[in-house]
Structure 1
Amino acid sequence: MKKSYCPIDTFINVIKGKRKATIILHLFQGDKRYSELVKLLTDISERMLTKQLKELESDGLINRTVYPEVPPRVEYSLTTLGKEIHPALKGMYKGGILFEKNIFDLQN
């Protein structure tokens, strides 16, 4: 995670990426196995999902737990930091709904 001139830029740089914010919002609802995330995020490839999960883990937003079973079971959960940014992401979600409504109203 690289510090930017403005904290808003730092925040956006960490969560930007293919579905990172959506991954965090899903994990806020509870720990998820990799296969559950694949089913929830149907619009991205497994390769891209894996990349985003690694980046979120590297930035300290999620934990990855591997259970020593056959086959191995991997679960993802939010760190304390990941939980703390939930209100900001929820605000962005609500803002997105407002923008989508505005776009729809302009088209009609």
Structure 2
Amino acid sequence: MTLKSANDYRCAVELTVKIAGGKWKPLIVHYLLGGTKRFGELGRLIGGVTQRSLTLQLRELEASGIVTRKVFAQVPPRVEYTLTPLGHSLAPTLEAMKAWGELYLAQMPEDPNPRANRLDD
């Protein structure tokens, strides 16, 4: 992921979305807030993410300084991902997103057809 210069963003929200937004990045950061995780562990926790998508998202987060990647020289290879201090600074943002999501879910009407209200369709 190539970032533009600071003057090329209309606002800080645009930059935040570029770095930490999308379908999988917030979930990756959320699970890494709990501590270092291996690639397979992240995939299982997130669920539904392809290996390719997870790899690309982790690479982008690493390039942005949000995540560090540590490779262990062993067979089979072991790779661990950890949040940097900058990555940890996203915690309040994710907590606010979680609180908003809980509020939204609490206000959703009960639907006899739960498939109709799925957000990921």
Instruction: Compute the TM-score of the two structures, normalised by the length of structure 1.
Output: 0.89
Q: CA deviation at 1:16?
A: 1.6
Q: Which structure has the highest helix share of the two?
A: 1
> Is the contact made by 1:62 and 1:77 (CA closer than 8 Å) also made in structure 2?
yes
Indicate the SS of the match to 2:109: helix
Matched, 1:8 2:13: yes
Aligned match of 1:46 in 46, 51, 57? 51
The higher-RCO structure (CA 8 Å, 6+ apart) is: 1
- State the match for 2:33 in structure 1: 28
- CA–CA distance in structure 1, aligned partners of residues 104 and 86 of structure 2: 27
Matched, 1:67 2:72: yes
Matched, 1:93 2:116: no
Letter in 1 for 2:16: F
- Structure 1: 5+ residue runs without aligned partners? none
Whichever of the two has the greater Rg, that structure is 2
Matched, 1:56 2:38: no
Aligned match of 2:84 in 79, 83, 86? 79
Letter in 2 for 1:46: Q
Deviation track 1:16-52 (CA, whole Å, cap 9, x = no partner) reads 2221011001001000001101111111111111111
The percent identity for this pair of structures is 37
After the TM superposition, list the runs of 4 or more consecutive aligned residues in structure 1 that deviate by more than 6 angstroms. none
Q: CA RMSD in A?
A: 1.7
- CA–CA distance in structure 2, aligned partners of residues 94 and 46 of structure 1: 29
Q: How many residues align?
A: 107
> Is the contact made by 1:17 and 1:52 (CA closer than 8 Å) also made in structure 2?
no
